[in-house]
Amino acid sequence: MSYELSVIIPVYNVEKYIGECLDSVVNQSIGIDNIEVIVVNDATPDNSMDIINEYAEKYPSFKVISNKSNKGLGESRNIGLKYVTSDYVTFLDSDDFISQNAYEDSVSKIKKFGCDLLIYNWETYTGSDYVEPISVHQQNTLENKVIDDINQNPKLVFSTASWNKIYHKSLFKYLNYSKGLYEDNLVTLSALINAKRIFLNKDAIYYHRKNSESITENIKNSNVFDLCDIINGLFKLNDEILTPLIIKFINDILFWVYYYNWDVAAEIEFIDKLKKSSGKITENQLDYYRKLFPDVLLYYGDILDLNNYDAETFLAKYKYFNRLNKVNSQASLYVDAGNGFNESDKVAIDYSPLKKNNLEFSLEKFDNISKLRFDPLEGSFVKCRITNNLPISDANCDNSVDDDCQIFTNLDPYYVLDADFSDISSIQINFDLEILTNDDIANLFRQKDNIINDLQVKPKKRKFSFFNKKE
């Protein structure tokens, strides 16, 4: 039997979600008889296969492949690809699901416009009130569009996920997934830069589940090392269009090193690995990245200097001497429901601080709200401005709440919002944020005629190479 499309679904430990995933496939408007469903059982230890076997018995288009041992997501996709018989393939993670029209609409457009790759929109699904901040990787399209040259849309290289795409068989040779984290980056990008015609489809949606119990990303050593390997692989692809993505990944690793708690030995190992994985990044390339993403935090000077120092000296210069205390990347909303502001009545969101931020806090569990206290960031001196129309009555800033922005030279900045909040179930707070540099803070002290400005402190002798030495 011939199929319009093959969908590969690796399965491991997803009995809680696999039913919703498979229902979204069998209920596709294109008809389940037109979809080759290839389920790869990656030695799942739970009852997922009991659920899957019920579908396989009911629908002849299901194929179930079982790994003898757990091989991971990437290798399971590779195994699934060996069983594809149609001209088009897509991937669906077993805890995700798709819109009902996704396959019919996408296949018809891919054929109509003669495309070998189609990308459709995606949304993060948590099953809770948590709102996932939009990242540069979620470049959803607002219009149906054909791309004949990827340079027409350079942000496409940030669409690194395998699962919101449909690939023609001419691209199958690039679909060879690696082990470890970020297994789809190199594969997806190899297909992307070799596709002759790409269709951006606004009318289909992939729902990517992020479990509410694991909303806080747990960055481990393997994240750093595996992403370094991806950076090295991207450099080897030797395509200038990929440089902004390389910069993004280098920037991510620097962020992890700066703001997570590591042993110094691990930090030195991370920077050594990053230096070996990275080629030269130029000012022009960094300026182009800034043009693409003007509101994203970028360690401009750090990236330029990455290969100029040994790892220990680099860390000393860019983390320990020129950085403030580590930032706790969390915004908090304290709710006064009659007991004042306290830790029990608090809603917190973990996020990566940007120049412009949009966060939404759920208030559904609170009654009789009289005041709110918004803490944009803890652990650093900041300049902040709430940009949507909220009733700010107070703030522990150095200047006035009526100024264009507020300056906080304390490590626990907050705003007090005072209004009738009894009829709202959530509140969105849009705010600009800038972490003050050492020079900014010094200037503030000077403006206050602080005595610290009169101190003449001579630096102690250090072994680090970036200090000027007398010959």
Confidence of residue 92 (pLDDT cuts 50, 70, 90): very high
Q: Is residue 373's pLDDT more than 60?
A: yes
DSSP string, 324-381: -SPPB-EEEEEEESSS-S-TTSEEEEE----SEEEEEEE-TT--S--EEEEE--BSS-
Same domain, yes or no, for 240 and 353? no
Confidence of residue 9 (pLDDT cuts 50, 70, 90): very high
Which tens digits make up the pLDDT trace of 315-367? Answer: 888 877 654 444 447 889 999 888 888 888 899 887 878 888 889 999 988 88
Report the alpha-carbon distance of residue 351 to residue 358 in Å, rounded: 10
Is 244 part of any domain? yes
Phi-psi region of 114 (alpha: psi -120 to 50; beta: other; left: phi over 0): left
- What pLDDT score does 275 carry? 95
Same domain, yes or no, for 58 and 198? yes
Which of these three, 214, 235, 259, is where a domain ends?
A: 214
- What pLDDT score does 468 carry? 37
Which tens digits make up the pLDDT trace of 374-418? Answer: 999 876 788 999 999 899 999 999 889 999 999 988 878 999 998
Region 262-268: mean pLDDT is: 89
Which tens digits make up the pLDDT trace of 276-298? Answer: 999 899 999 999 998 888 767 78
Same domain, yes or no, for 165 and 259? no
Same domain, yes or no, for 315 and 338? no
- What pLDDT score does 35 carry? 97
Same domain, yes or no, for 198 and 237? no
Number of domains into which the chain is organized: 3
- 374 φ/ψ angles, rounded to the nearest 5 degrees: -105, 120
Element containing residue 446 per DSSP (H, E) = helix 438-447
Which tens digits make up the pLDDT trace of 190-214? Answer: 999 999 999 999 988 888 887 644 4
Same domain, yes or no, for 250 and 202? no
Confidence of residue 17 (pLDDT cuts 50, 70, 90): very high
CB 377 within 8 Å of CB 353: yes
- What pLDDT score does 340 carry? 86
Same domain, yes or no, for 290 and 346? no
Rg over CA atoms, the chain: 25
Is 454 part of any domain? no
Report the alpha-carbon distance of residue 159 to residue 179 in Å, rounded: 20
Is 336 part of any domain? yes
Same domain, yes or no, for 154 and 299? no
Q: Is residue 218's pLDDT more than 80?
A: no
Is 462 part of any domain? no
What rounded mean pLDDT belongs to the chain?
85
Which of these three, 195, 214, 233, is where a domain ends?
A: 214
Which of these three, 289, 321, 353, is where a domain ends?
A: 321
**Which one-letter amino acid corresponds to residue 85?**
T
Quote the pTM value. 0.67
Tokens 């819109």 found at: 99
Residue 165: give the domain boundaries: 5-214
Is 451 part of any domain? no
